[in-house]
Amino acid sequence: MDLNNRVAVVGAGLIGQAWALVFARAGCEVRLWDADVKALHKAEKLVDELAHSLQESGLVDDATALMRRVTRCDDLKDALESVNYVQESLPEVLSIKKDFYTRLDSLLPSTVVVGSSTSSIPASAFTEHLAHRERYLVAHPVNPPYLIPVVEVCGAPWTSTEAVKSCIELMRAVKQKPVHVRRELDGFILNRLQGALLREAFRLVEQGYVDIEGLDITIKEGLGLRWSFMGPFETIDLNAPGGISDYCDRYGGMYQTFAVDQGSTDAWSNELIERLHKARRELLPTVDLEDRRKWRDKRLMALAMHKKNLETDSLK
């Protein structure tokens, strides 16, 4: 795909800023817009800071050149002029999205594909009424997308095959890792997997099998090490001599027994949430949360650089 594309990023919050960085890093001309002009000006500065941070980590060659590809637009029409793709990152409020998409549909040529960053609202909920509803879909990133490349691409029942294909091709071209979610469902794929793990984590702590720190250690020093470079199906395929069918023969009964215990659908209790919150604040005071988030991003940058080097080595 030709990356002399002009892409509009509408909504300049944390996700919009991250998308601007993703597209500009790959060589696209980015038009960044937000209805809040003050927030838009602030976002431009934050994108610049992120770009230079990535350059310091070796993930961007020239942050200054990257920023020359990002244009702040105070007017939506200017942001949408001659664009090839739009990434929408507005608040997770259905009424806001419906109103905005009605406006967007009247401003864009019918051929321009629009992806929403929504993490919870299916595209069908805010595009059914549109004249050109076939070009709208969800392109849900993982935060922050400039460090975590998965993008869940999910169309509404009326989204065209061509629109889905075009979005997937663009995401691959800008070095993201698109996953085609073939039918709409709440939470898409990633959040449903995360939700299943969280539900069991909450249960194990609530019932006294492990404390909150021990649970986190089990993931970050156990499962998470493997999951940083391969998924659960490949993991179990490699964990039995005969592959995945052999693994299921050996351990399927064990997991079925677990499933009986894990069948509860009760909501997390306020008491449990308070216990977990207190335990986390003992390990990390609230005033240190922002510094820890910066630490997290530095670790993600180091991991991204490690993976980048491995991919480069494999091509030699």
**Ramachandran angles phi, psi of 4, nearest 5°:** -85, 30
pLDDT for res 263: 82
The ranges assigned to domains in the chain are: 6-180, 190-229+264-283
- pLDDT surpasses 50 at 1: no
Among 11, 3, 1, smallest CA distance to 115 is for 11
Residue 51 tokens, joined: 């770009």
**Strand locations in the chain (E):** 6-10, 29-33, 70-73, 85-88, 113-116, 136-141, 150-155, 177-180
Cβ pair 157, 184 in contact under 8 A = yes
The domain 6-180: what is its CATH number? 3.40.50.720
Among 129, 66, 73, smallest CA distance to 97 is for 129
- pLDDT surpasses 80 at 24: yes
* Window from 135-149, 178-192, 300-314 with minimum mean pLDDT: 300-314
pLDDT for res 311: 76
Pairing of strands 85-88, 113-116: parallel
Strand partners, 67: none
- In this predicted model, what pLDDT tens digit does every residue of 195-252 receive, in sequence order? 999 999 999 999 999 999 999 999 999 999 999 889 999 999 999 999 999 999 999 9
